[in-house]
Amino acid sequence: MTVRDLTMTATQADMLRSECASMGELEGACQILCSAIRLDDDPWSPSPTPDIDLRLAVHQVEPLPPGRVRRHRISVSWDMDCYIGLLRKARQQNLHPGICHSHPNSGAPFSRQDDENEAHLRDLLQRRNRNKEQVLTSLLFLGDGRIQARVWRATGAPEAAFVRVLGDTLTQASPLADHYETTADSAFLQRQALSIGLETVSLLQSLRVAVVGCGGTGSAVAVLLARAGIGRILLVDPDTVTETNLNRLHGSTRRDAEEAQPKVTVLKDHIEQMGLGTQIAVSRTALADAQVARLLRSCDVVFGCTDDHLGRLVLNRLAYFYYIPVIDTGLSVVPRTGNRTAHVSGRVTVLRPGIACLLCRGVVNPQRAREQGLRHSRPDEFTRQVKEGYITDSDIPTPVVGTFTTETAAAAVNELLAGIAGLRGDKGWASERTIRYDLDRCRPTGAQPRPGCSICSDQEIWGLGDVDPMLDLGAL
């Protein structure tokens, strides 16, 4: 088993820095609880998977009482009963304990004393909790701003972990340079490297990105991602190509429509024919299936290009449970009537903890999501309720133009660059951006989490990771 990375929110990173480095030149400390996600269904790994990856997410920050910490210039310690209390919480909540400290006066890595102390804490974890699956995470905040992380398993030496901080940007806070797959010397990426830098191009190559919904917007997103050098792309869509798709579905042909080829297959073949080295995985299962959500856990970023409420509801929860940023797209077209011009707008929303979710923005209708879930899980019952008038089957084809879906896709991929390449400096992602094609206007929009929202106001589910049922969808 290999630890792929550890993710925390920017708010958590600020809290930990404050706890660990608030004493000037004195070392500080804090405790954390993490969720651990076993990526035993990575879509790009061979089956059966020879080595399972592990992702960690900081779920809770547990500050130490001020009177229980002893701070010095070259060491820090705290009362053992604080750590024992952390182990008790980890056992009760099925989470994994972690410790944090700082080296405020240098960029020096973990010391020999750190090695000895943490090995003792790991052994204590195993003696008290008696769970060989539990791991001990150790975070080190260096004086130069970097964060180092490592993970102690039940036995053996610690394993270094790559650190990500998710806020207005997706910051790579770890000094592990060998995480990057530095193959950006490919000729097709040279001019891109001149624009956004070689390190960013290398980072793009290391990313695992999913595109959920491979229609007009999703197909354009996937092609743009491949041409940007994204290393691995997962395509998710259960549908086949029809003649009505041909005005906007990138890579499709009339023959594909006549043969009712799967959209993901057509798009996979199209991208692979580019010969740019992108690894493509596909899933023809609907997003309502929990198996698809499990596949998405392996991704670093997810693009939501589906137009159904149930699919958006699943992606909405994914962003908060797993700290995986979801760049959701939408297109609204109100046809021209009489002297009234058409209303055409595209939307790009970047979902992550700390901003309003799609429910609070009114993008997802929970009732429509439930109806679509019923149609997926119990089609006979769905048909009966439609006939009896309990459900209005309103899946009426909407007007759409290929240039609008493609421009929305480009805006969505630009948000990815804004979040990881500093495209807008320190501003990073816009929470939401709308493009009015009929008015030639593009502007950011805002929304606040509604008090009591079970997603973006309930921090108890942020970074919680795996639960049963998946994403707690049984609570809907």
Of residues 446 and 164, the one with the higher pLDDT is 164
Give the pLDDT confidence score for residue 390 in this predicted structure.
Answer: 64
Evaluate if residue 65 carries a pLDDT over 70: yes
Evaluate if residue 62 carries a pLDDT over 80: yes
Distance, CA of 327 to CA of 234 (rounded, Å): 15
In angstroms, what CA-CA distances link 71 with 77, 103, 111, 118? 7, 11, 16, 17
Evaluate if residue 378 carries a pLDDT over 90: no
H-assigned helices in 275-352 = 290-296, 309-322
Q: Mean per-residue pLDDT for 53-79?
A: 91
Residue ranges with strand state E in 169-244: 170-172, 208-212, 232-236
- The closest alpha carbon to 312, from 294, 331, 290, 287, belongs to 287
Q: Mean per-residue pLDDT for 333-344?
A: 75
- Inter-residue contact 473 to 317 (CB < 8 Å): yes
Residue with tokens 């693009």: 303
Q: Which range is most confident: 61-75, 271-285, 335-349?
A: 271-285
- Inter-residue contact 203 to 230 (CB < 8 Å): no
Q: What is the mean pLDDT of the chain?
A: 89
Counting Cβ atoms within 10 Å, is residue 380 exposed (0-12), middle (13-18) or buried (19+)?
exposed
- The closest alpha carbon to 8, from 143, 151, 126, 162, belongs to 162
Distance, CA of 439 to CA of 393 (rounded, Å): 32
Give the pLDDT confidence score for residue 74 in this predicted structure.
Answer: 83
Give the pLDDT confidence score for residue 361 in this predicted structure.
Answer: 95
Q: Mean per-residue pLDDT for 163-181?
A: 70
Q: Which range is most confident: 47-61, 228-242, 341-355?
A: 228-242
pLDDT in tens, 277-303: 999 999 999 888 888 989 999 999 999
Q: Which of the four pLDDT bands, split at 50, 70 and 90, describes residue 175?
A: very low
Q: Which range is most confident: 173-177, 199-203, 278-282?
A: 278-282
Of residues 389 and 459, the one with the higher pLDDT is 459
List the Cα angle 451/453/458 in 5-degree steps.
95
H-assigned helices in 197-326 = 198-206, 216-227, 254-258, 263-274, 290-296, 309-322
Q: Which of the four pLDDT bands, split at 50, 70 and 90, describes residue 174?
A: low
Give the pLDDT confidence score for residue 453 in this predicted structure.
Answer: 94
State both tokens at 355: 């901003």
Give the pLDDT confidence score for residue 188 in this predicted structure.
Answer: 86
pLDDT in tens, 13-52: 999 999 987 657 889 999 999 999 999 889 998 766 667 7
Counting Cβ atoms within 10 Å, is residue 259 exposed (0-12), middle (13-18) or buried (19+)?
exposed
3-state secondary structure of 228: coil
Backbone dihedral region for residue 465 (phi beyond 0: left; psi -120 to 50: alpha; all else: beta): left
**What are the two backbone dihedrals, phi and then psi, of residue 337, each rounded to the nearest 5 degrees?**
-135, 125
Beta bridge partners of 39: 53
Distance, CA of 315 to CA of 287 (rounded, Å): 9
3-state secondary structure of 350: strand
194-203, 220-229, 311-320, range with the lowest pLDDT? 194-203
pLDDT in tens, 303-332: 999 989 999 999 999 999 999 999 999 998
**What are the two backbone dihedrals, phi and then psi, of residue 448, each rounded to the nearest 5 degrees?**
-110, 145
Evaluate if residue 179 carries a pLDDT over 70: no
Evaluate if residue 475 carries a pLDDT over 80: no
Evaluate if residue 184 carries a pLDDT over 60: no
Evaluate if residue 177 carries a pLDDT over 70: no
Give the pLDDT confidence score for residue 240 in this predicted structure.
Answer: 97
- The closest alpha carbon to 449, from 435, 427, 431, 464, belongs to 431
Residue ranges with strand state E in 343-414: 343-351
- Inter-residue contact 75 to 102 (CB < 8 Å): no
- Inter-residue contact 36 to 18 (CB < 8 Å): no
- Inter-residue contact 422 to 413 (CB < 8 Å): no
pLDDT in tens, 98-140: 999 998 877 778 999 999 999 999 999 999 999 999 999 999 9
Give the pLDDT confidence score for residue 384 in this predicted structure.
Answer: 76
Q: Which of the four pLDDT bands, split at 50, 70 and 90, describes residue 176?
A: very low
